[in-house]
Chains A and B, each alone.
Chain A
Amino acid sequence: MDSPRPAPASDFLVNKKRVRVLGLSFDDAVKIFFGGNAFVSVLVLALITYFLFQEGFGFFGQNHRNLLTYRQAGLEYVDYIRTQESAHTALTRYLSDLRLRQFSHATLEKKLTPAAANESLVAFDNFAALYGDSVEPLRGLVSELTEQATAIKTKFLVAEDKAVERQQLTAEGKIAEAAAVQIETVDFAVEVKALTGTLPAYKELAAEFIKKLDAALLTAPAMPTAELTTRLERFRQLSSDFTATFPATTRSLETWDYTRAVPWYQAFSAFLFGREWLTASFWQDWYGIVPLFMGSLMVSLVALLLAVPMGVGAAIYVNQIASAAEQRFIKPCIEFISAIPSVVLGFFGIAVLGQLLRWLSQQDALAWVPGFPFSERLNILTAGCLLALIAVPTIFTLAEDALQNVPKAFKEASFALGATRLQTIIKIVVPASLSGIISAVLLGLGRVIGETMVVLLCAGNRIAIPDFTAGLAVVTQPVHTMTGIIAQEMGEVVRGSIHYRALFVVGLGLFFLSLAINFLAQKIVNKYRISIG
């Protein structure tokens, strides 16, 4: 067809001359214009990927350097000992909890006055004080080492900044100024010696520490009830577990070497599996996505747990049971709910729902509910309830579409065989549209996980992995989410810093998560659609 051939001009009676620019007629140009506009969506998707990568990918290099500095400046070394100190602090917290229990036992069961109760606990207080104070020498060492390590780190960072300054000046052609920049070289071998030199002192301290702990344990008074006695036994166990970790720590300290390389994959694994998101700290910044991801996941799960039965139930009702007049009323109403802006819902959560849920949780009649009563009014539950309201219209609309697409013949055949309406719905209509319903739920999940304002305002914004040992009560804890952290911290970070790039990487994760959810939803619809022919 494309081969040039002589134009048989005389074939037609009327010949219309078309104006051609660059070989294109007007109609071709129009087509290209429309096609170009259609291509914008592909372009946007590509640009999103590109810019998220461009801004975010430098994070991994920076994080690698961050981790390297952590080791070279000896922060890692100090953290070995610091971990011991914080483990001891956790134990003393156990003791104060034990004291609280004894105190309430004394006041409630034995009906002692608070003063008398305190009197009866003097022996225990002495024991607790002895146990608590035994850490003091170690604490002194830690704070001394902390100062030294921070000094090394600061020195190193300043030197790096200066190097960058010199580079910039050289690039600008200001050779004289560049040469004038004083760069202090940091010799880690010498600097770190000051830290590792304390090892013999630490060993002595540790031995002393164990002795003191054991001595303190011997002075523990007897407990008034069997339950408290088992608690004290548990404490003894924990304490001996704690002292059992000492040799391992000493070994880590002995074998610690600042020159050991940080493998490149740690920059990734520290982000993907890091359990801490800690920024702008005086000691060491950590960028671990796990707490944020868990937060997003928990909030979404609660939302789906509420939204799926409601949304699918409503879809079944409207599509299969409701009268035409009811349908005409309900459908626009639910569409209307989907138009409520999420920031307004978030505000409603702060102003009303949070307080309402907390008030409900403090009612005696509801004390049996796990996690009740709670004191944080902004938590997973509050955010989850509001997100459910956001997910419901999505799930409802798509599930209703799926139900609508089930051929009438299926239903009629079922009725003809004598099935009741409920049997038809549960055994015929819903299974036939199941792929559509599942993809509706998945798209609802995508909507919820990407929602920003509600979680930013109502999830409590505490960066911590939810404590799953609390059982179902976990839903009353505050969390922070992936979307929330971007919205909250992006306004405050320095462009190009590691923190800024880390937020872009979180965005990248969110982007791919949403693509994966979308992909899965499409796959399910296409693969498991019942062939209706």
Chain B
Amino acid sequence: MSALNRHILQSQPSAARRWEAAAVWLFRSATYVILLCGALVFGNIVFKGSKTVFTTTAPFINVAFLTEAPESLYVFEYQGKKREMGDREFRAFKAQHPDASNVKSESYVYSAGGIFPCIVGTVLLVVGSMFIALTLGVSAAVYLSEYATQGRVVTAIRLAILNLAGVPSIVFGLFGLGLFVIYLDWNVSLIAGWFTLALMVLPVVITASEESLKAVPKGFREGSLALGATKWQTIRKNVLPYALPGILTSSILGIARVAGETAPIMFTAAYVVRDKLPWEGLTSVSDFFFQGVMALPYHIYVVSSKIPQNEYTERVQYGTAFVFLMIVAAIATSSILLRNKLRNRYKW
């Protein structure tokens, strides 16, 4: 008789307990369904994309895909054999085989070659905009946490930051178009994209920086001030150095966001296709800033919406998505890892 053996304080099975167990399982499954969905998206793109990016022979990485510009892909039948060729290769082939000049071919834009210009463009966009965003954001955070006293201006600033964080990215795109591209007449250019993206991540950077600054103990400041340092000396020598690692790591998440956004650069910085790399054909230094670039997220949009889905185009679609996802994932992972590490290092 097990009921007799049970200790009096031992838990008894009851309806309430069964309900609790069911509810716990419900919440647990909700959590893991989310993770599963994320893993599915991630897995699908990694699985199919790695076929493009990695090869089974020697260098194991598809170097051409990472270092060449996009080309049109031609699929045709020649002497009973189905062939796929990129634009340049196809022309060379036709020159070699005069009888192939009239061969019927199907062409798919952007489906051959690589995505090198897009990678370069994305890196340039991210570096530039993060430089601007960090300068503006860290300064703003220093003001808010070190100088600001409660008042109307500060309330307005905080309200503005809060609201700016909720503004849709496409509205930032329109704003960039109106202010930088049209009003300041910068045209579709790197610098217009930099400012648009920088202003978009500004709230993220400010909030993250302020948190890190607030985490530096008050005693650090008071000690420095008591020794006769000015406020700026205190901030520079005794506050910023301790807050900087935190600021940088939290801002990396901002970088992931900048790299991932498409809508703001659609009208401000991104070209569908551009033959020249950003450093080619410049006549003056300023030309560098006032040129549009190709960017990975925009390229993904173009290849997934403007060309049909089939076995020939899938290669470049998944390849681009894979490379892009890997870049963003690397940034995000490093941010998360660094933060966890920092949390353990600084304990005041």
Near B by CB (< 8 A), chain A positions 396-424 give: 396, 420-423
Contact between B31 and A340, CB atoms less than 8 A apart: no
Q: Bound complex: CA of A37 vs CA of B206, how far in Å?
A: 10
Main secondary structure of the interface of B (DSSP, over half): helix
**Residues in B neighbouring A443, C-beta threshold 8 A:** 166
A313 at the interface (CB under 8 A from B): yes
Contact between A350 and B309, CB atoms less than 8 A apart: yes
Q: Bound complex: CA of A339 vs CA of B139, how far in Å?
A: 26
Contact between A491 and B166, CB atoms less than 8 A apart: no
Contact pick for A343, options B143, B160, B297, CB 8 Å: B297
Contact between B206 and A341, CB atoms less than 8 A apart: no
Contact pick for A420, options B20, B42, B182, B203, CB 8 Å: B20
Q: Shortest beta-carbon distance, A68 to chain B, in Å? A: 27
Q: Bound complex: CA of A160 vs CA of B142, how far in Å?
A: 56
Q: Chain A 335-348 against B: per-residue CB contact (8 Å), 1 yes, 0 no? A: 11101111111111
**Residues in B neighbouring A333, C-beta threshold 8 A:** 35, 38
B305 at the interface (CB under 8 A from A): yes
**Residues in B neighbouring A27, C-beta threshold 8 A:** 230-232
B304 at the interface (CB under 8 A from A): yes
Q: Chain A 410-451 against B: per-residue CB contact (8 Å), 1 yes, 0 no? A: 000000000011110100000000000000000100110111
B156 at the interface (CB under 8 A from A): yes
A218 at the interface (CB under 8 A from B): no
**Residues in A neighbouring B156, C-beta threshold 8 A:** 42
Contact between B166 and A55, CB atoms less than 8 A apart: no
- Stretch of A98-106, A108-116, A316-324 contacting B (4+ beta carbons < 8 Å): A316-324
Contact between B139 and A33, CB atoms less than 8 A apart: yes
Q: Shortest beta-carbon distance, A44 to chain B, in Å? A: 5
Could you give 17 example pairs across A and B, Cβ below 8 Å? Answer: A34-B140, A38-B140, A41-B202, A48-B167, A309-B30, A314-B30, A334-B38, A336-B38, A341-B262, A342-B261, A443-B166, A450-B167, A452-B169, A487-B170, A491-B267, A504-B178, A519-B163
A217 at the interface (CB under 8 A from B): no
A264 at the interface (CB under 8 A from B): no
- Stretch of B59-67, B70-78, B317-325 contacting A (4+ beta carbons < 8 Å): B317-325
| Nearest A residue to B332, CB-CB | A339
Contact between B230 and A339, CB atoms less than 8 A apart: no
Residues of chain B touching chain A, judged by Cβ–Cβ distance below 8 Å, are: 16-17, 19-20, 23-24, 26-28, 30-31, 33-35, 37-38, 41-42, 44-45, 135-136, 139-144, 146-148, 153, 156-157, 160-175, 177-179, 182-183, 199, 202-203, 206, 230-232, 253, 256-257, 259-263, 266-267, 297-298, 300-301, 304-305, 309, 314, 317-318, 321, 324-325, 328-329, 331-333, 336, 340
Contact between B140 and A450, CB atoms less than 8 A apart: no
**Residues in A neighbouring B33, C-beta threshold 8 A:** 310
Near B by CB (< 8 A), chain A positions 334-381 give: 334-337, 339-348, 350-352
Q: Bound complex: CA of A235 vs CA of B18, how far in Å?
A: 57
Contact between B170 and A389, CB atoms less than 8 A apart: no
Near B by CB (< 8 A), chain A positions 488-533 give: 490-491, 495, 503-504, 507, 510-511, 514-515, 517-519, 522
A463 at the interface (CB under 8 A from B): no
A170 at the interface (CB under 8 A from B): no
Q: Shortest beta-carbon distance, B164 to chain A, in Å? A: 6
Q: Bound complex: CA of A30 vs CA of B239, how far in Å?
A: 15
Contact between B170 and A483, CB atoms less than 8 A apart: yes
Contact pick for B168, options A26, A396, A420, A451, CB 8 Å: A451
Contact between B164 and A507, CB atoms less than 8 A apart: no
Q: Shortest beta-carbon distance, B80 to chain A, in Å? A: 32
**Residues in A neighbouring B199, C-beta threshold 8 A:** 44
Contact between A518 and B262, CB atoms less than 8 A apart: no
Contact pick for B301, options A42, A51, A343, A420, CB 8 Å: A343
